[in-house]
Amino acid sequence: MLVQALGKIGQTLVVLFIVSIATFGLLKLAPGDPVQIMLGSEYSQEAYESLTAEMGLDRSFLVQYADWAINFVQGDWGTSFVARTDIFTYGFKEALPVTLTLAFFSLSFAILIGVPLGVLSAVKKDTAFDAGSAVFALTGTAFPSFLLGILLIWFFGVRLGWFPVMGYVSPWEEFWTGIYHMILPGLTLSTYFIAMITRLTRASLIEVLEEPYIAAARARGEPSWRVIWVHGVRNIAMPLVTILGLQLGTLLQGTVLTETVFNLPGIGQMLTSAVLGREYGVVQAGVIMTALLFIGVNLLVDLSYPILDPRLRDRK
Amino acid sequence: MTAQASPLATKAPAPATNPPAGPPKSKRRGRRSIFVRRPFFTVSLIVALAYLLAAIFAPYVAPYDPVLQSYDAMMQPPTAAHPMGTDSYGQDILSRTIFGARFALIIGFFSVIIGAVGGLVIGLAAGLSGGWVEWGLMRLIDSILALPSLILAVAFIAILGQGVDKVVIAVGLSMIGPFSRTVRADVMRVRVQGFVEAARLMSIPSLQVVWRHVLPNVIFPLAVQVTIRISEAILVSSSLSFLGIGVTPPTPDWGLMIAEGRDFVSFAPWMSAMPGFALALLLIALSIVGDGIREEFDPKGRRGA
């Protein structure tokens, strides 16, 4: 098992290397010569060459990459001219926590609502409730989240005035106000996942409920809530965790849109304004943070299988 | 790609009967038509075709010029003259929504084609090679998949700039990852089958084996994937426009229209809602059509895998 885990970690490192070198190389292709931009319209050939050398742009691609990577690991990500701060503070300390908070709340909503909904439709299979939840699941997975966000703002924010429509308050500092501000964005982002988890829970639970150990539990006279919620739901944890890990990318790209709808200062807003301001360093930082998150979580998912499924622990 | 492949394939006399297309067809023959068995699929297909027709005949269907601005008719709620209202420039939202179908479908279609062709090349290479090359290509696919398609498209837009053509390229490139993964899986499935083995044993050059026996068996599931993923491409492209970094105004793009209406949602909600519902309805219809096609035609789904 240790060998397997090390192999996984090795693979992950290779993927990280490819992602980082590709991002670095790709944004080198971006239009505009950085030296020319810094020098302005009039400059001498010597000034051009000396600045090129000073910025290290005369060295080979790999040396430049290595240099950049070392700086990146040390938290030296360069400066953002639009936000007037260094990118590490801007991206990692300010934007990332907002995105993670939003992702955390959405995922919690999704699990807290999606799993019970899926279990209920599996138990009440082929009833009106099941049909209703199937329609909801289908609509929920196909409905564009940014439109849903605007509709929620219009209905709950403007018409009813129940919730604040914009702004971010960190729930880690002011707990209740923060949560209050997170409800609409969290719902917007989580609808897709509620629908997806409902579908998945229903499908896997129907399969699990036909297993012999469920019949055995019933035969022992265990109450049906225990049969379903303990014996049943425990056994759908694996597919659920796998899919959630794989869908993390969808979650992250959802945060980009939700942040724009609700004006939350997260990675999404950072990326959008960086693209509009042509700040390639910031785009690079945002892209790599997203990739790191995705890769990291999927490594955790892979490594968590033996914890979730005891049968996997014994294999070498 | 497929259009190029077919004339070459018909030139050769032997492979007129493609092994995989045979059994599913005969199985279906005895059953009722798909349109009768799947009413939701049929309705959704009709809806999707209606969008296609609206897109093709947009100039004849739309009551106004989609970019005609009118200062006398700004932000009007839906009336008889403007059934979906007007936006902040006095442009007719119904006309813009109809023309929007054109952009959505064009962008969706062409970007999926780019993604499918790129995915076919990488997926074939990864599925047919072995050893270190395969391992390397797999890690490459992993790396592309490590970035969600919208984020990847944002990165490409950062380099390419904005505009309809740029959006098509950015979205297309960002879809190569998922396509190459499914192509590779199909290649792995096909290459261990008897007829490929037989062709190899007859010492047919390996390039010819790929062309004549592997490729035809990969193209069909790929075509299924293409239809399924068009809705994804439309969603990503309209998301880019919604973020304000995709298509530039005054192009009548749904994502852009939704974004423009966002600031006026408190007193002119129809500005976002009308193009928004057009987009949502198309996406839901396409996803039902995609589900139907997948369940009917996807060989993996049928085997219960």
Alpha-carbon span A78 to A73, nearest angstrom = 12
Percent of chain A exceeding pLDDT 70 equals 89
Highest mean pLDDT of the ranges A133-142, A157-166, A170-179, B77-86: A133-142
Domains assigned to chain A: 101-277 (1.10.3720.10)
A315 has a pLDDT exceeding 70: no
| B72 or B184, greater pLDDT | B184
Tokens of B162: 């904005």
Interface membership of A156 toward B (CB under 8 Å): no
B8 has a pLDDT exceeding 60: no
Spacing of C-alpha A308 from chain mean position: 22
Residues A112/A303, Cβ–Cβ less than 8 Å: no
Q: What pLDDT, on the 0 to 100 scale, is given for residue A32?
A: 67
The alpha carbon of residue A255 is apart from the nearest alpha carbon of chain B, in Å, by 11
**Could you read off the pLDDT of B241-266 as tens digits, one per residue?**
888 888 887 788 888 888 888 878 77
Residues B186/A307, Cβ–Cβ less than 8 Å: no
A177 has a pLDDT exceeding 80: no
| B53 or A168, greater pLDDT | B53
**Could you read off the pLDDT of A42-88 as tens digits, one per residue?**
777 777 777 777 766 777 778 888 888 888 787 777 776 666 677 77
**Could you read off the pLDDT of B228-242 as tens digits, one per residue?**
888 889 989 888 888
Alpha-carbon span B160 to A115, nearest angstrom = 42
| B299 or A310, greater pLDDT | A310
pTM, to two decimals: 0.80
Average pLDDT score over chain B: 78
CB contact under 8 A, A18 and B143: yes
B131-159: average pLDDT: 84
B292 has a pLDDT exceeding 90: no
A21 has a pLDDT exceeding 50: yes
Interface membership of A13 toward B (CB under 8 Å): no
**DSSP output for B73-142:** SSSPPS-SSSTT-B-TT--BHHHHHHHHHHHHHHHHHHHHHHHHHHHHHHHHHHHH--HHHHHHHHHHHH
B120-136: average pLDDT: 84
Task: Look at A93-97, A105-109, B86-90 and tell me which has the smallest mean pLDDT.
Answer: B86-90
Interface membership of B140 toward A (CB under 8 Å): yes
Q: How confident is the model at residue B136 (pLDDT cuts 50, 70, 90)?
A: confident
Report which of B123, B265, B301 is spatially closest to residue A153, judged by C-alpha positions: B265
B200 has a pLDDT exceeding 70: yes
Residue that is written with structure tokens 């976002």 in the block: B272
Interface membership of A59 toward B (CB under 8 Å): no
Alpha-carbon span B273 to A159, nearest angstrom = 15
Q: From the list A30, A147, A278, which residue is nearest B258 (CB)?
A: A147
Interface membership of B133 toward A (CB under 8 Å): no
Interface membership of A19 toward B (CB under 8 Å): yes
B51-55: average pLDDT: 85
Highest mean pLDDT of the ranges A69-78, A162-171, B62-71, B101-110: B101-110
Average pLDDT score over chain A: 80
CB contact under 8 A, A142 and B283: yes
Q: What pLDDT, on the 0 to 100 scale, is given for residue B134?
A: 83
Percent of chain B exceeding pLDDT 90 equals 5
Alpha-carbon span A260 to B23, nearest angstrom = 50
| B6 or B121, greater pLDDT | B121
Tokens of A175: 């707990």
Collect all residues of chain B within an 8 Å Cβ-Cβ radius of residue A24.
Answer: none
The residue type found at B159 is I
The alpha carbon of residue A44 is apart from the nearest alpha carbon of chain B, in Å, by 28
Q: Note whether ipTM > 0.90 here.
A: no
Interface membership of A230 toward B (CB under 8 Å): no
Q: How confident is the model at residue A243 (pLDDT cuts 50, 70, 90)?
A: confident
HSE of A241, CA atoms in CB hemisphere, 13 A: 19
B17 has a pLDDT exceeding 60: no
Q: How confident is the model at residue A245 (pLDDT cuts 50, 70, 90)?
A: confident
CB contact under 8 A, B258 and A253: no
B199-216 burial, b if ≥16 CB within 10 A, otherwise e? beeeeeeeeebbbbbbbb
Q: How confident is the model at residue B305 (pLDDT cuts 50, 70, 90)?
A: very low
| A110 or B8, greater pLDDT | A110
B18 has a pLDDT exceeding 60: no
Q: What pLDDT, on the 0 to 100 scale, is given for residue B7?
A: 41
C-alpha to C-alpha distances, B220 to A255, B238, B288, nearest whole angstrom = 35, 28, 20
**Could you read off the pLDDT of A186-215 as tens digits, one per residue?**
888 888 889 889 988 888 888 888 888 888
Q: Return the SS3 of A299.
A: helix
**Could you read off the pLDDT of B34-52 as tens digits, one per residue?**
777 778 888 888 888 888 8
**Could you read off the pLDDT of A30-54 as tens digits, one per residue?**
766 666 666 666 777 777 777 777 7
101-120 of A, contacting B, C-beta below 8 A: none
Interface membership of B244 toward A (CB under 8 Å): yes
Q: From the list B140, B244, B273, which residue is nearest A18 (CB)?
A: B140
Collect all residues of chain B within an 8 Å Cβ-Cβ radius of residue A256.
Answer: 150-151, 154, 239, 243
